[in-house]
Structure 1
Amino acid sequence: MTFLTDAQRTQMLANGAARARGEAIDPYPVVKLYTLDAGAAWLLVSLDADGDLAYGLTDAGIGFPELGHVSLSALAGVVGPRGLRIVADPHFTACQPLSAYTAAALRDGSIND
């Protein structure tokens, strides 16, 4: 399953390369992934050169959002309680940098965008 468009993949790889060079970046999330049946969400900003390991804000839907890495191939295999897979939100457009989403999620206990 492919979550990213070519343009999103290109932007996330560029952000990942900047992070790998040690640049202090605070990009806007590029893609939002979510479960249709479990309340989990991921706001992803960068992708490692391997094309699989993404970085961003993760929310498993249990009240403890955090920054971290996630494997896109692992997410592709996740099935929710009603048998639904994780999908990319085609209507998501970030309106603030990752740090602002993180601060709000930590305050609220979930990603609310």
Structure 2
Amino acid sequence: MILLPPDLRQRLLANGRQRDVDHVPVVKFFNPLGEGVWLATELDPDGDIMFGLADLGYPELGSFSLEEMESIRLPFGIGIERDLLFTGDFPISVWAEAAREAGSIRAAERILYARARSAAALNLTPPDTETQKA
């Protein structure tokens, strides 16, 4: 699997040119066999150093290397993977706060999306009474 396809690379580079913005993560990488989750919001012009939220046992904001992630070899020839279904949806500051409170990015993801579903359910409009009469 290509960890960073061209469309995501371009989005990360564009975010990297906009400093001091609370970006929404563009991509999520993870270790499929254990600890290790990274949410990337920006990519330096060098094409290697990303900024975002990393969780290798404790979530913290910082920089990490794409080249190093691509070089990791786990048992059975598995490497770090990209979450193909990840959408980000919240600014990195929200992710960081939730991950610190929950203890991990994975726990924060469950909490944030459960809260979002609850909020969406509360904002549902009542059914149209005219439709119900028909």
In which range does the TM-score fall when normalised by the shorter chain? 0.7 to 0.9
- Farther-moved stretch of structure 1 (2-11 vs 101-110): 2-11
Q: List alignment gaps of at least 5 residues for structure 1.
A: none
1:92 aligns with 2:86: yes
Structure 1 counterpart of 2:10? 10
TM-score using structure 2 length: 0.74
The structure with the larger Rg is: 2
SS at structure 1 position matched to 2:105:
coil
- Aligned pairs (5 A) from 1:1-113: 2-19=2-19, 24-60=20-56, 62=57, 64-81=58-75, 83-112=77-106, 113=109
Percent of aligned pairs sharing the same letter: 39
Please give the alpha-carbon distance, in whole angstroms, between the structure 2 residues aligned to 1:33 and 1:56.
Answer: 11
Q: List alignment gaps of at least 5 residues for structure 2.
A: 110-134
Which of the pair is proportionally richer in strand?
1
Give the count of matched residue pairs: 107
- 1:110 to partner: Cα distance: 0.4
TM-score using structure 1 length: 0.87
Query: 1:33-84 CA distances to partner (integer Å, 9 max, x unpaired)?
Result: 0010012100000000001100000001x2x110011110011111235542
Contact 1:37 1:82 in 2 (8 A): no
Higher relative contact order (CA 8 A, sep 6+): 1
